[in-house]
Amino acid sequence: MPVNLSIVIIAKNEASRIEECLKSVAGWASEIILVDDESSDSTRQIASRYTDRVLVRKMDIEGRHRNWAYSQAKNTWILSLDADERVTGELREEIETILAKDPGACAFTIPRKNFLGDYWLRRAGQYPSAQLKLFRRDKFRWEEVEVHPRAFLDGKCAHLTQPLLHYTYRNFGDFLKKLNSQTTLEAKKWLKVYQDNPKKANYKMNFVHAVWRFNDRFFRAYLRKQGFRDGFIGFMISFFSALYQIIAYAKYWEMKQKLTNQPIR
């Protein structure tokens, strides 16, 4: 008998990955909802083989988009997934056990095994990489901002032990593609801060801080979190992760120059 749980999946142009995600929960949860961000591929057609709750909504702000998706659920408990995530049999059993009794919490974080292609990224801060994924619909919401929304929970958060499989990066090129997108959003966030409070932005987001954060993030990932034990892959993951800081600053600096009509030299 299906578990009284709503699976909510956010997707856009994920025809190559969405089916494996849906297969991992099909027949297990009592409700599966896919919210499609106006895909131009066959994402919706594939999803319709597993659920009749395929909704279309253009993403505006990530937090708002996710909150809207969760509001469509019928069940009290929601498991939020992305198209590149898979639920294992062990995780299903753990969730069933939790929901069969008084959970004692309003939400649960779930560890994730992040993959580069088929390689499990065990180190460099990539595991356990727990995220809040399982929650009561009436007790949880995301901050409605474009980048790094904060989680607001009315109640206690506990932690599951069995991981999700997260096929986050197809290859190094995919990593850089996501890095490019995320740093653009980060730069836009700081540009808004600058427009509202230039003193705060200049103090928090400047070249010296960007270089310091780059070095700090790299050495923490590569040395303290033992990225070096994953060889070349560990080095690249540590390096790319550190690049986030300085690339975001470079984009912010460029946007600020244009905003103040200063020539870029």
Average pLDDT over residues 20-37: 97
Average pLDDT over residues 46-63: 94
- Assess whether pLDDT exceeds 70 at residue 239: yes
**For position 259, what pLDDT does the model report?**
86
**For position 264, what pLDDT does the model report?**
61
Beta strands, E only, the chain: 3-11, 29-36, 54-56, 77-82, 85-86, 107-110, 112-116, 119-120, 131-136, 140-142, 151-153, 157-159, 164-169
Query: Strand, helix or coil at 159?
Result: strand
Query: Strand, helix or coil at 48?
Result: coil
Average pLDDT over residues 60-83: 95
Share of the chain above pLDDT 90, in %: 87
Q: How confident is the model at residue 58 (pLDDT cuts 50, 70, 90)?
A: very high
Please calculate the CA angle 211-215-116 and round it to the nearest 5 degrees.
115
* Tens-place pLDDT, residues 83-107: 999 999 999 999 999 999 889 999 9
Q: Which tokens hold the place of 113?
A: 């095994």
**For position 136, what pLDDT does the model report?**
97
**For position 265, what pLDDT does the model report?**
59
Q: How confident is the model at residue 54 (pLDDT cuts 50, 70, 90)?
A: very high
**For position 171, what pLDDT does the model report?**
96
**For position 21, what pLDDT does the model report?**
98
Q: How confident is the model at residue 262 (pLDDT cuts 50, 70, 90)?
A: confident
- Domain assignments of the chain as residue spans, ordered by start: 3-169, 172-259
* CATH of region 3-169: 3.90.550.10
- Assess whether pLDDT exceeds 70 at residue 61: yes
Q: Are 27 and 117 in contact (CB under 8 A)?
A: no
Q: How confident is the model at residue 260 (pLDDT cuts 50, 70, 90)?
A: confident
Average pLDDT over residues 202-231: 95
* Tens-place pLDDT, residues 125-179: 999 999 999 999 999 999 987 777 889 999 999 999 999 999 999 999 999 999 9
Q: Which of 108, 111, 119, 125 is nearest to 163 (CA)?
A: 111
